[in-house]
Structure formats: C-alpha cells, structure tokens
Chains A and B, each alone.
Chain A
Amino acid sequence: MRKFFFLGLILLSRFALMGNIIEVGPGNEFTSLDQAYHAAQPFDTLLLKAGTYPVISLELKKPITILSNQGAILDGESQSYILKVLSDDVYISGLTFINAGRSYTKDFAAIYVSRANRFTIVNNRILDPFFGVLMEKSHKGVISNNTITANRIREDDSGNGIHAWHSSDLLIQNNEISGLRDGVYLEFVENSVVLGNNSHNNIRYGLHFMFSNHDHYLNNTFRENGAGVAVMFSKFIEMKGNHFVQNWGTASYGLLLKEIYDAEVENNIFEENTVGIFLEGSTRINYTGNEFVQNGWAIKVSGGCYTNIFSRNNFISNSFDVSYNSKMNDNLFEGNYWSSYSGYDLDKDKVGDVPYRPVKLFSYVVNKTPETIILLRSFFVDLINFSERVSPVFTPDNLVDNAPAMKRFSND
C-alpha cells in the first residue's frame, strides 16, 4: 500500500513541478535530443516526435521528462550506454531503445540509473540490449509497463533485463522481459515490489534475488526460463500469487530457495517444472495454498532446512511429491491435499484417517542413482514404494501428513 501511495506522490509532484514543454524532432527548433536537453531548464519536458534519434551515453544531470507519444526511437549505434540518469526526478516514457552497446568489461545498458531518486521509467520498449535497465544506489523508482526483449543464447554475452544493485523502494510492475540472462536481478535491494511481470525464455533465471531483504514479488509469471526464480541469501521475502510454468531442464527449478529465512510462499502455481521448489538451507518459511501440478518433483528438500511449514497446498499428479536426501526431518507437512493419497475418511470430517507419506522410497533411490528414473511408474517400483510406505526404512519416518485433506483446496 505504501508503494502505491508513493507512486501517487510522484505523479502529483510531476504535475506541480511541470515546466515548459520543448518539442523535439524534424521541423522543430531542436532536432537532436542532445541539443534539446542542454537547452532545457530543470523540470522541463522534452516531447519527441516520431523518428530515430542517435543518442550515445546522454547524461541526464537535471530533473527532466523525456516523452514520446509517437514512438520515437533512440539509437545507441552499438557504442555505449544510451541514457544515463544521474539526477533525481527523471521521467522517461514511450521511447524505443535500439542498438545499446555490448561489452565484456563494462555493463552497458539502454537506461542506466545511478545515485538517482524518484525516477520513473514507463511504457518503453528496449530491443536487444546488453542490460535493459541498470540501477545503482538509486531509490524510490518506478519501472513499469516496459517491454525488454532480446534473443541471447549464451550467459556470458548477455546482461539482465532489469538489474538493481544497492537500491531500495523500487516498484517493478507489468514489464515483459524475455531472452536475456536474468529477467529481473535484485542485489542488495530493500523494500521493493516486483508485481505482475511476465518474465519468460531467459537463459538463467526469470527473477533473481541476492542479499535482498524485505521484498515482495506478487502475481508474476515465469515461463520457460533456464531455472525459474532463484531467491538466495535473503530474509523476509514475500512471494505470492506467482505462476511458475514449464521451467524445464537438467538444472531447472520453478523456485530455487537457498539460504532464505522467514519468508512466505503463498498461493503460487507451479506447473510442469522439473522441480517445483528446491530448498537448500532455508528456514522458517511458510508454504500455504500453493498449487503443484504435474511437476517432476513438487518439492525437493536438500540439507539444512528447518521449521518449514507446508499446509493447505494442492499436490496434483506430480511424479514425486516430496524428495529428501537424508533421514532427518524438521519440517512440517500438515493438512495438504495429495492427489496420490489413497486413504479413507470414515468420520466424514474431510480429513483422511490414515496419515500420508509424501516421500516415496523410489525418490530416495533416484537421488542416489539418477539413472533409475527410467523405471518410473513400473510395477516393481510401485511394489517397493508400497512396502516402504507400510514400514519406512530409508525415508524419514516422521515425515507424514497427519491430516491429509480429502478434497482439493480451491485457492483461487
């Protein structure tokens, strides 16, 4: 809520401080963006007519608005940055950025924001950049409704769509990002919201968090990325209503959690990922109301995960519901719906009378010898799973759902 309030404030301040409007383009006093910018006063608006403007590393050092409602194109001529935002209160909207520079030593970006506050970047298109929007030590920014597309193939010659470093109070909303290394990468970013973005077909992660605390990401869609979403070394992250679809591959996860503490994972949908959620060293996380549909592994728990609580989740037709690599268990599974549950409910309280064991012996065998996956769903494997369920030897014997739901939860 605070974020929206603050967005409103930005808009208000914009109207209050609106300076002169300077038209730029063919037939006007200024035909290049460079000239127009240098002639403008702080808080002026540069209104770009249709056309292609060569812009190479233009440094914006005063508050300014650059607008186009005719789809002006800024051409970086493959040299360097295109726009560098170095001042507070910069507003960039309706532009198309092409030919930003590409380098193995410098982080060239279509829009580079450094030590700036209250910046707004909306409704832009950025085509095949190295980095799309790169922010450093900047605060209170809005990046929304942008389209950032590229067609990169290798990790080492591609940058990230939206990259923020040591920043805070960002709102990243309704962007579409595809074909880059990471769709959105947040490193040391605090109090930010990532909302309603569509991040797909990126080489590495759809969304990547490192050392970023108190952030929220809500209602995003992550589809066919190298490894879905990675959240690492962060605390107090809220993940709600996201859609993780078809993140396939040998090291592919819907959601990868590594060294995460005190997070909430709620009402997300994990559909057809190789691994729905991969947990490593993650503690005190609540998983509530999520939907795991047709994943290879719905949840894969590696070492050092304590006090995670899974409840009211739906596990539908996953090849493996839960997989553990040890016999230790300090996590709680209670009151979930498991489509492979075969118990009964005699007292009609909608809770199964027989506990459910989500870890199958075969998932333990596959962890040890991955090639055995070829025997998945064979009669023999069903047989050994059954015998293990009756008397657990290899799987954690306290890992049971004591109150499995009989009916699927509707989490809509």
Chain B
Amino acid sequence: MFKILKYTFADLIRSRWSYVYLGFYLLLGFVLLFLNNDLSKAIITLMNVIVVLTPMIGTIFGIMYFYSAREFTELLLAQPIKRSHIFLGQYLGIALSLAFSLVIGLGIPFLVYGVAQSAEIWDFGLLLVVGAFLTFIFVALSVNISLRNENKVKGFGYAILVWLFLAVIYDGLFLVSLVMFDDYPLDKFTLVASMFNPIDLSRILILLKLDISALLGYTGALFQSFFGSGLGMIVSLSTLLLWSLIPVGLLIRTARKRDF
C-alpha cells in the first residue's frame, strides 16, 4: 500500500497542477497578509476561501486523477496486490499531496508574517486542520463517484453536483427550513443539521474561534456552550473524522466488488 501511495504521491508532486495549487495558496497568503497586515483579519478571509475552495479542488482533483490513471490502475490490478491497498494507496496519495500543498502554501506566508509568535496560532492551526479534513473528505467522495461511474462526463457532473449541494444548496435548504419553522424550538435541530454537512461543520468550528462575540448573542449562547466546550470540539472533530472515514470505507467496499 505504501509503495502505491509513494508512487501516486510522487506522480502528483511532480505534476504541474500541484505546483499551480501550491503557488495559488502561496500567492493568496502573501497577498492577503500584504493587504491587511492583520493576521486575524487575514484568517477570516482565508476561512471563506478554504471552506469553499478546498472541497472544490479536492473534488475536481480526485475525479480527474482517478479517470486519467485508470490504465495504470488496471495494470496494477493484474499484479498480485490486494485491491483495497491499490485504491487506498491512490486515495491517500492524492489527498496527502493536496493537503501538503495547502499546509505549505499557507504555512510559509503566515510563518513569515510571524503567526508563530502571535495569539492567532491556534486559530490558524485549526484552519489548516479543517482544510486538510475537507480535502480528505472530498477526495474520498469524488473517488467513490469515479469508481461507480464508467462515464467520465457523468462522473464529473455528479462530483460537481455533490460539491455544489454541500457548499451552497444545503445551506439554502437549511436556512429556508429554519425560517419556515421558526415557531418551534430549533436549537437541537440546528445542531444536528450542521453535523450532516462537513463544510458547515468546519465553518462553524472556525467561526467559533473568530466571530465569537456575535455567536454569543441570543441563541448563539447555546451553540457556544456546545461547540465552545471541550466536548463540542471533540464531537465535531470526530464527526469530521467520521465524515472522512465513511467514504473511505465505502470506497474499499466498492473497489472489492468492482469489475474492471
């Protein structure tokens, strides 16, 4: 498995797109810090970018790589290697290389501007952890889709749809249902509903660190008492973990049965 991981990783690390991705984050980090010169403000802007962009890049990268490496996969399948190892190795290769680009691309500019000495180091760390989680989750989802769909165009469409649903449409439905049912006690529903979307969950985790004064107002207090407590942090991080493990489990199951 590690050999395949290594090959995929090396393959991606050498590819042009990884550099573009890395370069994008480097540029973004430097430009943001240059314009703001204020770490906490840059982190807020960055949150918006990360929460929307990392899932999208993860989805597109995952699905593109899997379709283009199909022949290599078929070749590997002819060898005496365990199936789950092949796919897991490839999946981890993609996800790790993307996460590396993210962490290095954002880490360098922020380190240069002295995040390590500032109070924002924890917020920034959380941001990177959340970004990495989102990468792992969405690569897993897209790999699943590409395994189940022979047709490239169809697979691509589905992947984009999943991203669009979780990034935009879900929140829309969520908002509408909250406004429609505002005569009922909604706090529990809200907590549960936000667990079902990894993008929302990551956004809230970062928000609680940054927009804390707004969230402390009104019903926000309930969210604060849940997410702000150690328990809430553990629950939401493990939900994120679950979100990345379940698609991987599905992936292994599909890979075992799939006929090439």
Contact = CB atoms under 8 A, between A and B. Distances in A.
Answer whether A and B are interacting partners. yes
A246 B212 CA distance: 10
B47 A275 contact: no
Contacts of A273: 213
Interface residues of A, number: 34
B219 A370 contact: yes
Given A379-B51, A379-B52, A250 B217 contact: yes
Interface stretch (A141-149, A292-300, A329-337): A292-300
B176 to A, nearest CB: 10
A368 B207 contact: no
Interface of A: 246, 248-250, 252, 272-275, 294-297, 317, 319-320, 365-366, 368-383
Given A379-B171, A380-B168, 13 more contacts: A248-B212, A250-B220, A365-B179, A371-B178, A371-B182, A372-B175, A373-B220, A374-B190, A374-B194, A377-B47, A377-B207, A378-B171, A381-B171
Interface in B131-170: 167-169
Contacts of B212: 248, 272
Contact of A249 (B167, B174, B199, B221): B221
A377 B210 CA distance: 11
Interface of B: 40-41, 44, 47-48, 51-52, 167-169, 171-172, 174-175, 178-179, 182, 186-187, 190, 194, 199-200, 203-204, 207, 211-221, 223
A253 B212 CA distance: 14
Highest count of chain B CB atoms <10 Å: which of A272, A273, A372:
A372
Contact of B223 (A296, A297, A374, A378): A374
18 contacts: A250-B216, A273-B213, A274-B213, A294-B213, A295-B213, A317-B41, A317-B44, A370-B219, A370-B220, A372-B175, A374-B190, A374-B194, A375-B174, A375-B175, A376-B211, A378-B171, A378-B199, A378-B203
A249 B214 contact: no
A53 B12 CA distance: 82
B33 to A, nearest CB: 15
Given A296-B211, A369-B186, A252 B216 contact: yes
A377 B178 contact: no
B44 to A, nearest CB: 7
Nearest to A247: B213
Nearest to B215: A373
A250 B218 contact: yes
Nearest to A246: B213
A320 B41 CA distance: 15
Contacts of A297: 214, 217
A252 B214 CA distance: 10
A373 B178 CA distance: 10
B220 A378 contact: no
A116 B89 CA distance: 86
